[in-house]
Amino acid sequence: MKTAGLRFCLVFLLGVASAFASLQDSVKDRALKALRSGDYHTVIRLCLDALQNAPGDEEIVFLLSRAYAIGQDYDRARRTLEPLIRRSPKNTDYLLLRARIEFWNGNAAGAEAGFNEVLALSPQNAEGWAGLARIAAGKGDFSVAERFYLGSLARDPNDAEVHYALGVLYRRQGAFEKARASFKQARRLDPKNPDYKKALTRIPGRSDTAYEIRYILQPETFSDGRSSFLSGQGAYCWRLPKNGPALVFKWDQTKRFDRGDSQFGMEVYPRLWKGGSAYLDFNYSPSAALYPKLSYLVEIYQALSGTFDASLGYRYIKFEPNLVSVYIGSLGAYYGSYYSCLRVYLSPKSNESKISWLFLTRRYFTDRNYIFIGYGQGTRSMEIAAAGDLDFKDVKIIMAGFDWTLFRNLHLLASYCRLNDRGLGRNTFVIGAGYKWGE
């Protein structure tokens, strides 16, 4: 009888313990789920309730400390975590959390010491390497940060967050192709993260396709009833392999004042150095009936950070017998899915200087697709392309349009521009289509 009773008590106690363990496991699962969703208030409530019954459960205590840290209650996070570290001073999970708390609280020196402590115990710890990378990036030591990020990815190549952080670092340096590759890798690993998708829209676009053929039609009408202008441009675009420059070969035609003319040209987009690139445009008209005999543009762009870029350039336009020189400067900024740019044009003439300016804003939806609006004033020196453009001296410009690629291959673009010059209105419509292929 006594033996049977003891067996019954033992089975009963084991059952209670098993039920309690299952309950604790359920609480941990619910707390982890809430933590992943960012609901740290729920995590804190669940953990505090669970610790009433099991005050020594280290997993629950660790979850509670993480929740306090995410909620930016760093003092409580430290106080909750420290007893765990005293009991297990070589537990790298605990030490990593302490280093992160110091980093989030702005204590870079304490965080650096913490991450180094983790790596001393576990040199292959990818999160320790990533922590040191973030500290170096915060100090502006980009080469060290890059080395640590790459060290982290060498140990854990599937960490989307580190790929994204490395992309941000490259973008700040103006290494846009590297940034694009890192952001794409982050998006591949975590396709549902909206930040990774958005990051691609903040890189100056460069098509991934190797070839494109396109045609652009540009009709123009006037408010005073004069005959319309009609221009067109056919172009073949070729991006050289191995990150070589993009080349555009083009042929322009225009009909104005019951006369026609054509010109041939080429655009080149080379990289120069880290964060530096150029836009080169050369054009020649054999007859020069309407187009200038010769024109060219040289403009140098430089990324100043991951947010700002600037450019300086010179444009030469040779109309018989006139010469037009234009000096160009620009300053642009990326913010979220937007890019805004102010371009200023200086056209010296004898002892007089003509100044024009144009402010443009783009809203990116992908790295290729955007809409834009713009407003400007001045002598329209930036728009001089053929005879008739020189007649506009003091204009106000309003423009809007889009540039869009569908199904990776179909390129569509359109815009409208309204110019007003002392009561005379000029409406310019641009409609274009192209086909892209190759990688």
CATH superfamily of the 211-437 domain:
Outer membrane protein transport protein (OMPP1/FadL/TodX) (2.40.160.60)
Q: What is the pLDDT of residue 242?
A: 64
Tell me the per-residue pLDDT of 35-66, one tens digit each, with 9 for 90 and over. 766 777 787 888 888 877 777 788 888 888 88
Q: In the CATH scheme, what is the code of domain 30-200?
A: 1.25.40.10
Angle at 142 between CA 141 and CA 146, to 5 degrees: 125
Tell me the per-residue pLDDT of 333-354, one tens digit each, with 9 for 90 and over. 887 678 899 999 988 764 445 7
Does 30-200 match 211-437 in CATH topology?
no
Per the structure block, which two tokens stand in for 18? 């098993």
Rounded Cα gap, residues 290 and 288, in angstroms: 5
Write down the pTM of the prediction.
0.60
Q: Give mean pLDDT, residues 129-156.
A: 91
Is the pLDDT reported for residue 245 higher than 90? no
**Domain boundaries along the sequence of the chain:** 30-200, 211-437
Is the pLDDT reported for residue 15 higher than 60? no
